[in-house]
A = this chain, B = another copy of it.
Amino acid sequence: MSRIDGRENDELRETKIIKDFIKNASGSVLIETGETRVICTASVEEKVPSFLRGTGQGWITAEYGMLPASTQNRKIRESHRGKVEGRTQEIQRLIGRTLRSVVDLKKLGERTIWIDCDVIQADGGTRTASITGAFIALVQALQKLVQEEKMQEIPIKNYVAAVSVGMVNEEHLLDLCYQEDSHAKIDMNIVMTDAGDYVEIQGTGEDSPFSKKDLFKLLELGEKGIQKLILQQKEILGEIFM
């Protein structure tokens, strides 16, 4: 049985990445995964949070937002609610942790990279698209710092990308769109490096718990998808390691 949009179970949606989408940012992309579209930017600030001052170490922090019209029913602006939702906080903490895991923060030096992921159109998988796109914006910002001779080499240890997997109607699916996601009994987000190591695994079976067999099948699917996305990152970024 094929999927709602005709894909195979282990098939990614088409992903397009437009570089240099926002001129004021050090790095920026528009990443489009099917109908999901996210603007990812990286901005450099020459100072660090107080807990790192004087340590010589840098920091990477991420923020995530959704434009009101990005969702099927208009979403109330968080600035108007006066608070940041739990879901938003989870996602931005995840993006930040992920990017820090592949950067040598000592080599980054005492500066902060601000990552902003703003969803302009949402159709499932916004947090994983954010990670995959933000990595590219981050590398661009680091390349610029090297060009400006503020650091000698790009302090990146690995490529990293993310994808969602899940189980819908007893099928194990890769890269769920919104309609699939809303019927999934298992929902898992996987973040992985080009070396095949995990940075983060978040699997939830809200409607019903899931078996080890399902877990292993989904991990396998996720790995397959992520490695394809990393190939795409490599095409865009070229050789980034010294």
Q: Which of A's residues lie within 8 Å of B, judged by CB?
A: 22-25, 28, 35, 39, 41, 43, 45, 63, 65, 67-72, 74, 77-90, 92-93, 97, 100-102, 114, 116, 118, 120-122, 157-158, 160, 192-193, 195-212, 215, 219
Contacts and interface: CB of A to CB of B under 8 A. Distances in A.
Contact of A67 (B45, B71, B116, B209): B116
Contacts of A68: 41, 43, 63, 114, 116
Given A22-B120, A24-B70, A208 B101 contact: yes
Given A198-B212, A203-B200, A118 B25 contact: no
A207 B103 CA distance: 9
A82 B80 contact: no
Contact of A82 (B28, B43, B83, B198): B83
A24 to B, nearest CB: 5
Contacts of A63: 68, 77, 80
Nearest to A71: B24
A206 B41 contact: no
Given A68-B114, A89-B86, A196-B212, A121 B204 contact: no
A81 B63 CA distance: 13
Contacts of A23: 35, 121
Nearest to A78: B79
Contacts of A35: 23
Contact of A209 (B80, B114, B195, B205): B195
